[in-house]
Structure 1
Amino acid sequence: MAKKVLIVTNSFDLHADLVMPLLTARDCAVFRINLDAFPRDYQICQLFTQNKMSSEIRHLPTGASIDLAEVGAVWARKPADFAFASEDLTVQERAYAKMETEHALFGLLYPLDCYWMSHPVALRGSMWKGEQLQRARSMGFRVPASIVTNSPERVRAFKDSVQGDLVFKCLSSPMLGAEAVADEDRIATGLATTIVTDEMMESLDAVSEVPCHFQEYIHKQYELRVTIIAGRIFAAKLHSQDDPRTAVDSRDMSAEILYEATELPDEIKERCLVFVQSYGLNYSALDLIVTPEGEYVFLENNPNGQFLYVEQLIPEFKMLDAVADRLSEEAACRI
């Protein structure tokens, strides 16, 4: 009997919503954990005895359950804050509950000897922007001149050395942490990649509060979103320079710029594949720039980056099907 696919995500994940029926159509059984309802809506049991080890997860509202020995593939999609049965936990109680839940859940999942898209250890190891730039450079990519520092003096010297515009880019969350706090505690909702103005340079002492990431601004002919799913490459060409709203940061979806499928040079294809595989990832999305001179420049790696919006703009990519194909195939071959 073919094994099952386990999806670990949150209840707002449209990607998972759309892949699940594709898996069902491939006669592949699926169990989903929504972390924003865990452990409140789930019950787990990991049992160790001298002669036996067993692990089970049950979804309380539906009664559905899965023996983790039945799992042949895991899609680790998106994180979320845990939810607990009691809403009146103290701050310390909630902190302890979160730590214990993390240990319990991931102690249950990490040992699974199956196909992962992708394993949490690989996801975490591949998320650090400074390390990504160093690795990409070592693999032959051009990377922007960059600095991460909490020294205003170092930023001023860096700007002088670049002899052009600088951009500020968030290392972690472009939402400036808004997703991690309650609505009433939010003071800002996000910051796009931003060209540093002379006025900003005059306020540079604020950099001493927290390490900041600055890069040379590289002029673009166009941008690339290169999504890699189990070794398959889906390269999207973004005409970001056609609209001033996306000229610096292409993520402004209010601008209806053209996305189109494109073919990468063989050397760049291979470099992207080797980069992603070097982390042990089975999925990732890379952001690249192509300069007016035709040079390819690495910007960043998104080990769990979104891809649905790209497929919606380039329907022939069929990336949802690519995910479903690989997960179902891997589950089926692990009898």
Structure 2
Amino acid sequence: MILLLSTSDDTNLDHVIDWLKLQAHAYLRLNADDVMEEPLHLSLQPPRLAFRGHEVDLSQVGVVWLRKFGNFRRSAFHARAASRLRRESLLQLEREHASLLTALTSLLEDKHWLTHPSRLRVNKVEMLLKAQRSGLLTPETHVLNRGEDLSRLLAGGEYISKSLFEPLFLKEEGGLYSMFTRTLEPEELPRMGEHFFPSLVQRKVEKEYELRVFYLDGECHTMAIFSQQSERTRQDFREIDWTRPTRMVPYALPMELEEAIRRFMRAIGLNCGSLDIIKSTDGGYYFLEVNPSGQFGMVSHPCNSFLYEKIARYLIDHDLRAQEAH
């Protein structure tokens, strides 16, 4: 049995499930936002999970794929409760929800995981340090909170700013407000003030193009993104130019870069994830960050990588191995 832990809006998982169905292999999908809505019964003795009319003996689960298991504040339950509960009560329910998810993953500690729960959250600065130690190039990086320090940096070249944590995307009636990577301009310094919240600042790397690498169990599936061909996507390819779509093509990484990526992923304990890398005009490949539950459909479709099928095959193979071991 394959157990899939995600959220209801995970369309990438939908496509992997299509391949599992094609192979007629048993699976159960549990969405973190559905546990407040659908019939649920989690038993510790014996370890069993009943959900949506399916009852699963957890000892029969051979492999677990952890995608985006959480997001209480983005659930329909939270949206309804926010208008009628006090903030403290809502925070308590969020903690209760997190405790339930932790209880479930604890019952599955001995399983084979594609993305282990302990590796779902990563720290950007820590990842940069471990990338360096694995032989990957990284941009010059600073975390600071004083205008005078930032001014000294900008006097010596161009720098960019990005979030220390994950980017924030706010949906409002008037539109979508997004955090993107942006260049810091010296004339903006007076508006920032002398003291601001600790911020991540990196020396700007002049891009020839960008690379999105989807890593799966030692294999690198890579796409080149020619974001420099449009002014809108030049700084951050996520700022999509719908009038002039960015060219995206399959890419073969240099062998030494692939091996450095493998060392890095082993060092941080991840067997799956999406890496962002810049191919610089100076010829270097600069690692930016890794996302354990990153999007891979954007690599699969343009590059004909068949990643949905490969992930399904990975899950099936490991589930069959677990069955044989029993």
Q: Same fold (TM over 0.5)?
A: yes
- 1:246 is displaced (CA, Å) by 1.5
CA distance in structure 1 between the partners assigned to 2:202 and 2:10 by the alignment: 32
CA distance in structure 2 between the partners assigned to 1:90 and 1:290 by the alignment: 49
CA distance in structure 2 between the partners assigned to 1:149 and 1:269 by the alignment: 32
Does the 8 Å CA contact 2:210/2:226 hold for their aligned counterparts?
Answer: yes
What do the CA deviations read for 1:277-329 (whole angstroms, capped 9, x no partner)?
A: 21221211111111123111111111111111222222x21111111111111
CA distance in structure 2 between the partners assigned to 1:175 and 1:108 by the alignment: 28
1:237 counterpart (224, 244, 247): 224
Does the 8 Å CA contact 1:19/1:324 hold for their aligned counterparts?
Answer: yes
Match of 1:325 in 2: 313
- Amino acid corresponding to residue 13 of structure 1 in structure 2: D
What do the CA deviations read for 1:46-77 (whole angstroms, capped 9, x no partner)?
A: 33xxxxx3222222xx4123222121111111
The verdict on how the C-alpha distance between 1:277 and 1:118 changes in structure 2, with shifts beyond 3 A counting, is same
Which runs of no fewer than 5 residues in structure 2 stay unpaired?
Answer: none
Does the 8 Å CA contact 1:237/1:261 hold for their aligned counterparts?
Answer: yes
Match of 2:147 in 1: 152
In the alignment, structure 1 residue 33 sits paired with structure 2 residue 30? yes
Match of 2:166 in 1: 173
CA distance in structure 2 between the partners assigned to 1:116 and 1:107 by the alignment: 16
Which runs of no fewer than 5 residues in structure 1 stay unpaired?
Answer: 48-52
- 1:139 is displaced (CA, Å) by 1.7
SS at match of 1:15: helix
Match of 2:42 in 1: 45
Match of 2:101 in 1: 105
Does the 8 Å CA contact 1:169/1:214 hold for their aligned counterparts?
Answer: yes
1:266 counterpart (235, 255, 259): 255
Match of 1:94 in 2: 90
Does the 8 Å CA contact 2:214/2:299 hold for their aligned counterparts?
Answer: no
Aligned length: 314
- TM-score, with length taken from structure 2: 0.89
Match of 1:74 in 2: 64
Match of 2:208 in 1: 221
Does the 8 Å CA contact 1:38/1:84 hold for their aligned counterparts?
Answer: no
- 1:188 is displaced (CA, Å) by 6.5
Moved more, 163-172 or 316-325: 163-172
SS at match of 1:227: strand
- Amino acid corresponding to residue 59 of structure 2 in structure 1: A
Match of 2:283 in 1: 294
Match of 1:115 in 2: 112
Does the 8 Å CA contact 2:39/2:53 hold for their aligned counterparts?
Answer: no
Does the 8 Å CA contact 1:42/1:57 hold for their aligned counterparts?
Answer: no
- Amino acid corresponding to residue 219 of structure 2 in structure 1: R
- Amino acid corresponding to residue 196 of structure 1 in structure 2: L
- 1:187 is displaced (CA, Å) by 9.5
Does the 8 Å CA contact 2:6/2:32 hold for their aligned counterparts?
Answer: yes
What do the CA deviations read for 1:140-162 (whole angstroms, capped 9, x no partner)?
A: 222111111222222222223xx
In the alignment, structure 1 residue 284 sits paired with structure 2 residue 263? no
- 1:83 is displaced (CA, Å) by 6.0
- 1:32 is displaced (CA, Å) by 0.9
What do the CA deviations read for 1:75-124 (whole angstroms, capped 9, x no partner)?
A: 11113216659844433332222212322331221341112110110222
In the alignment, structure 1 residue 141 sits paired with structure 2 residue 136? yes
The verdict on how the C-alpha distance between 1:34 and 1:154 changes in structure 2, with shifts beyond 3 A counting, is same
Of all paired residues, the percent bearing the same amino acid is: 28
Does the 8 Å CA contact 2:47/2:107 hold for their aligned counterparts?
Answer: no
Alignment of 1:48-67 (within 5 A): 53-59=45-51, 62-67=52-57
- Amino acid corresponding to residue 136 of structure 1 in structure 2: A
- TM-score, with length taken from structure 1: 0.87
CA distance in structure 1 between the partners assigned to 2:56 and 2:220 by the alignment: 33
CA distance in structure 1 between the partners assigned to 2:193 and 2:175 by the alignment: 20
CA distance in structure 2 between the partners assigned to 1:40 and 1:221 by the alignment: 48
Does the 8 Å CA contact 1:147/1:158 hold for their aligned counterparts?
Answer: no
CA distance in structure 2 between the partners assigned to 1:66 and 1:111 by the alignment: 13
- Amino acid corresponding to residue 159 of structure 1 in structure 2: L
SS at match of 1:95: helix
The verdict on how the C-alpha distance between 1:64 and 1:111 changes in structure 2, with shifts beyond 3 A counting, is closer
- Amino acid corresponding to residue 239 of structure 1 in structure 2: F
SS at match of 1:210: strand
CA distance in structure 1 between the partners assigned to 2:278 and 2:190 by the alignment: 29
1:313 counterpart (294, 298, 302): 302
